[in-house]
Structure 1
Amino acid sequence: MNEITTLATLATVHFVALMSPGPDFALVVQNATRHGRQTGLYIALGLSCGILLHSIFSLTGVSYIVHKHPMLFSLLQISGGSYLLYLGFGAIHGVWNSVTQSTPIQEKTAESVILTNKRQAFSRGFTTNILNPKALVFFVSLMSSLVPAGMSLTGKGAALIILWGLSLIWFSFLAWALSTKRLQRRLHAIAIYIDGLCGAIFTLLGGTIVWQAISAF
């Protein structure tokens, strides 16, 4: 398999994985819906930078070392799972407050730091991705199976650019599509349900990851 074919295969597999529902997808949907395009785009940038770092770690063998050391991997699982639980509980708490106080959820957006702080939006996207142990396992498997050890530095550099670029394009498109004026008017009416669903996804994934880590001890 030549390098062009390898890169094309890598891009295809990665793009299919990007479109699969998960914490990254849910994070963009939740925040682009509630806080608008700018916040969604900075979260997309944070997510794509997290993916870039995962890719670099996988190519250099750092992720493989972490994956093969149970204690290190369990610590990553607990950290990542706890962060997802934090996001989940925060979303569910916001929904609960909106219901009990009879306040439209979109009126609460001004209270959120992420709405007014680009750095916070980027940080949330980056942290959500880099602490996701499933992402670490995915990129270790992806790189070990599709990127040969003898691949040129140019080829490996192109692989990193492709993985980062596809991630940024996909998540930015998702943020843009969810923040058009027409769609925003419709989504605001069901924002509380979107928040509740995303909160449930974060909580379920985070709880599962933490449970798996604890069970491994």
Structure 2
Amino acid sequence: MDMSVMLGFVVAVFLVSVVPGPDMLFVVANAAAGGRRTGVVAAAGMSTGLAVHSVAAALGLGALIQAAPQVLNGVRIAGAAFLLYLAYLTWRASGQEVTTTEETPQLPRRTLRRTYVMATLTNLANPKVILFYLAFVPQFITTGSGSWPATLQFLVLGAVFIMVGFPVDAGAALLAGTLTDRIFRAGRRIRRRLERVTAAIFAGLAVRLAADLR
């Protein structure tokens, strides 16, 4: 796998991860309700769900691309359309106010095991996570001579996604467990800027995708 592609993936994943989305908000809500350890366990559950998505994509879509490389073009076209849609939604959200009562609801205290299971199931059951994963990761899959098998690329990129995303979610949990709802009020301006950067990344990936079609 080309190291420049891997570096671009790491940067993109980091920027996507630091923007508060449904997964991070779930983690923060649990941390605010149950403390830092509960939040970190919720982050681990989210990463477990992502690991399952990675394996499923590798065994299904990865195997299909390996058998018929031209399928990647169809996946990329659909992915480009979805990424443009995400870019629009993310940019629009950057201009909206976020209130703690709406985004980080007070959750009842749960055992750590139940928190982990709930976080994993929340990630697995979210169709937007599945669509995002299938739209985002294939943009970094390479084909042709010298390329790794598509299945292996999916697994490696999925592992990198988790290695980058989990520390971000866990860090948010530690902060939220300490500062509770003040974290988002104090960081509203930063959040807006990060969301706009992320929207630009989504749009850029869609353009890059269209340029790579052949």
SS in 2 for 1:179: helix
Partner of 2:17: 28
Shift of 1:108: 3.5
The total of aligned residue pairs comes to: 174
Shift of 1:77: 1.7
Residues 76, 131 of structure 1: 8 Å contact kept? yes
SS in 1 for 2:133: helix
Residues 91, 196 of structure 1: 8 Å contact kept? no
Partner of 2:31: none
Shift of 1:129: 1.9
1:77/1:214 Cα in 2 relative to 1: closer, same or farther (>3 Å)? Answer: same
Distance in 2 of aligned mates of 1:59 and 1:96: 37
SS in 2 for 1:97: coil
State yes or no: 1:130 paired with 2:137.
no
Residues 85, 206 of structure 1: 8 Å contact kept? yes
State yes or no: 1:210 paired with 2:199.
no
Residues 105, 191 of structure 1: 8 Å contact kept? no
Shift of 1:20: 1.6
Shift of 1:19: 8.2
Partner of 2:65: 63
Shift of 1:197: 1.5
The partner residue of 1:50 within 50, 53, 64 is 53
Q: Cα RMSD between the aligned structures?
A: 4.3
Distance in 2 of aligned mates of 1:53 and 1:77: 18
Higher alpha-carbon deviation: 118-127 or 88-97:
118-127
Partner of 1:5: none
Residues 46, 123 of structure 2: 8 Å contact kept? yes
Q: 1:151-188, CA deviations, whole angstroms, 9 ceiling, x for partnerless residues?
A: xxxxxxxxx6x886675465333311211123664454
State yes or no: 1:189 paired with 2:190.
no
1:127/1:51 Cα in 2 relative to 1: closer, same or farther (>3 Å)? Answer: same
Distance in 2 of aligned mates of 1:63 and 1:166: 20
Partner of 2:33: none
SS in 1 for 2:148: helix
1:141/1:209 Cα in 2 relative to 1: closer, same or farther (>3 Å)? Answer: farther
| Equivalent position amino acid for 2:47 in 1 | A
Partner of 1:157: none
Distance in 2 of aligned mates of 1:52 and 1:110: 30
Distance in 2 of aligned mates of 1:49 and 1:18: 23
| Equivalent position amino acid for 2:202 in 1 | G
Shift of 1:27: 4.0
Shift of 1:97: 2.6
Partner of 1:176: 170
| Equivalent position amino acid for 2:204 in 1 | T
TM-score for the superposition, normalised by structure 2: 0.56
| Consecutive unaligned residues in structure 2, runs of 5 or more | 29-38, 106-117
